[in-house]
Amino acid sequence: MKVEVCFSPALYPYYAGDNNRITVVVDIFRATTTICAALQNAARSVIPVASVEEARDYKAKGYLVGAERNVKRCDFADFGNSPFDYAAEKVKDMDIVFTTTNGTQAIDMAKDSDILAVGAFSNIDALADFCFGKQKDVCVLCAGWNNRFNMEDSLFGGALARKLIDKGYNSASDATRVALSMWEEALPDVRSYIDKAEHIKRLEVNSLLDSVAYCLTENTVDLVPVYDRETKRISVK
Ligand code: MLT
């Protein structure tokens, strides 16, 4: 079995030919970390939508909505894109409509994969066990920023690849080797490595650095969110 890292949604069409695999969508800051947090806090499902208009329509129908553009919460939404917004007392047993600048677009792009799983540092061990248990190839799709490479998602690609290689996967591709090198370089101090990332600056100017440490912490969540093509919802399988 092999593990690939796709560094940008713009590259994804070149990885999408073989859908008989697990695509792990990752947006460390902050969409996929937030989906994991909402489900950990017992939300029934997350309904990803690509556009703000769709999210607004759901809101008018009475749904709880999380909506973010350019790191800011949309004014009509109940939640923004911080994992801390999705506390158990607000989300337990609820279906939450969710749209973000890049994360939910990447989910939309990968929805025809045999299995679409949501990845974050917070669920990395559960995810590695899940992938190994399925005995399928894995492609990590980095949500990036407006189709551009970003450090944090690529770093996660390296971290997950390391865990899967330790379980017997192989890393045939140059992209995976580069992601692994990033992870090795970052390992002594991931927080200071990521300090150079563009998204840290974006969060900083909007006073949104509060969830960065949480987004980089491994294994605070013991579940794997999976997208269901029939219901178009993400839930824990
Ligand atoms: C996104 O989807 O682009 C991000 O999750 C942005 C953010 O940090 O809110």
In tens, the pLDDT along 81-121 reads 999 999 999 999 999 999 999 999 999 999 999 999 999 99
Whole-angstrom distance, CA of residue 38 vs CA of residue 106? 19
Q: Which residue is closest in CA terms to ligand 1's atom 6?
A: 71
pLDDT of residue 230: 96
The predicted-structure confidence for 131-148, as pLDDT tens digits, reads as follows 999 999 999 999 999 999
pLDDT value of residue 17? 75
Query: What are the sequence ranges of the domains in the chain?
Result: 2-227
What is the atom index within ligand 1 of the atom nearest the CA of 199? Answer: 8
Give yes or no for residue 82 CB within 6 A of ligand 1: no
Between the CA of 32 and the centroid of ligand 1 the distance, in Å, is 9
Per-residue pLDDT of 188-222, as tens digits, reads 999 999 999 999 999 999 999 999 999 999 999 99
Chain segment 148-163, per-residue pLDDT in tens = 999 999 999 999 999 9
pLDDT of residue 237 exceeding 80: no
Q: Is there an atom of ligand 1 within 6 Å of 105 CB? A: no
Pick the CATH number of 2-227 from 3.30.830.10, 3.90.1560.10, 3.40.50.620, 3.90.1010.10: 3.90.1560.10
Is residue 100 within 6 Å of ligand 1 at its C-beta? yes
